[in-house]
Structure 1
Amino acid sequence: MMNEDLYQLEKKLGDLLPKKRYFHSLGVMSTAFSMALVFGADSEKATIAGLLHDCAKYMTGEEMLKECIANGVPVKQVEMLKPDLLHAKLGAFYAKTVYNIEDEEILSAITWHTTGKPDMTVLEKIIFVSDYLEPNRSSSGIPNLNDVRKLSFRNLDEAVLQILGDTIAYLTETGKLIDETTADTYDFYKRKLGIK
């Protein structure tokens, strides 16, 4: 993808997303680019996936649910109850159908950026981690954010585990639903890192 194509993507998103969400997407894009350089991933794919990861997050949960059903995007039980989770799957669908992204690695990184999934690729981990710690995120609302920021440029698997652990703790404390994929991913990375 040439720079002018990236500029066009940025412009389309800027016209569509609320300002705060757009700046978040730019932050994820720049963080993902930097992490790709550190971990030897494709920086162009990381840039595109980072920019487009929230491209469906301008609708209400109910609108996302209707869009998924209308377009044959699979919906799990937990997503029926908490349709905001659908923005990742729907974002991958839009990346392909609206923004003409054909690359399966990019689409997969967008699909899994919220819940994670067991045994993620380097690109999937980069987008998952970048979404959590991009520069526009405030450390006041996220426990251990500065520690995770430092960790994320040293060890991706440990950063993924820390983010999942903190997310599950927050969801448990606030009585919110935990997607089973998030729980499975947490268990996978605990086993991978040899943590009981």
Structure 2
Amino acid sequence: MNKQQALSLVKPHLTESRYLHTERVTETALELAARFHVVPEKAMLASVFHDYCKYRPLDEMRRIIEMTATLPNDLLDYHHELWHGPVASVLVETELGIKSSDVRAAIFWHTTGHKQMTDLEKVVYLADYIEPGRDIPGIEVVRRKATYDLDAAVFLACKNSISFLVSKSRKVYPDALNLYNDLVDRVK
């Protein structure tokens, strides 16, 4: 499937602003993939479909999490914003025929990350964070790091995300903390 075919499949599932975000994430992911030697086709597919389930009804996503053995039920204990990636990792296979476990894992982990992420997973995670439409405190530092150090950029994005959640007294998904802990020593 080429990029235009993929975008045409995802477009009906997104708002106009989310579709434009998806286009920017995809372009950013392709730039990062070229820079850090990640298979561009996989980066393209994962980034196009990273928000495939963003607007699915919460009760549908809850049911899919409960009924799918490969999805951790503890997701239900955290904010529903975390649900769309794991649910999409299942539905892109069943609804769209995307079988690549690498692509599906990058979709799954694009919101929280986890320890020992693959470079493809890091590229999608980071592209979603630094795409040009984002205006987040500290993002320019992350964007600069992303020009030469994938791990350092992912670390800063993770650190900023965790700091934001803590500042709002919100729960932090354990895998996000695992990502932080995994990278903290590597980037020093």
1:45 matched residue in structure 2: 42
- Aligned pair partner of 1:153 in 124, 147, 150: 147
- Aligned pair partner of 2:130 in 115, 130, 133: 133
Q: Is the 8 A contact 2:45 2:103 kept in 1?
A: yes
Please give the TM-score of this superposition, normalised by the length of structure 2. Answer: 0.93
The CA deviation string for residues 116-163 of structure 1, in whole angstroms up to 9 with x for no partner, is 1111111110001001011121x2xx1111111111121010011101
1:164 maps to amino acid: C
Q: Is the 8 A contact 1:61 1:84 kept in 2?
A: no
Q: CA deviation at 1:8?
A: 2.5
Please give the TM-score of this superposition, normalised by the length of structure 1. Answer: 0.89
2:130 maps to amino acid: L
Report the more deviating stretch, 59-68 or 13-22. Answer: 59-68
Q: CA deviation at 1:80?
A: 3.1
2:61 matched residue in structure 1: 64
2:178 matched residue in structure 1: 184
1:99 maps to amino acid: L
1:160 maps to amino acid: V
Distance 2:57 2:70 in 1: 16
Q: How many corresponding residue pairs? A: 188
Q: Is the 8 A contact 2:102 2:120 kept in 1?
A: yes
Distance 2:75 2:95 in 1: 26
Structure 1: runs of 5+ lacking an equivalent? none
Secondary structure class of the residue paired with 2:124: helix
- Aligned pair partner of 2:166 in 148, 155, 172: 172
Q: CA deviation at 1:78?
A: 4.7
Secondary structure class of the residue paired with 2:83: helix
RMSD: 1.6
Distance 2:129 2:40 in 1: 18
Secondary structure class of the residue paired with 1:91: helix
Residue identity over aligned pairs, in percent, reads: 29
- Describe how 1:11-50 pairs up with structure 2 within 5 A: 11-50=8-47
Q: Is the 8 A contact 2:26 2:48 kept in 1?
A: yes
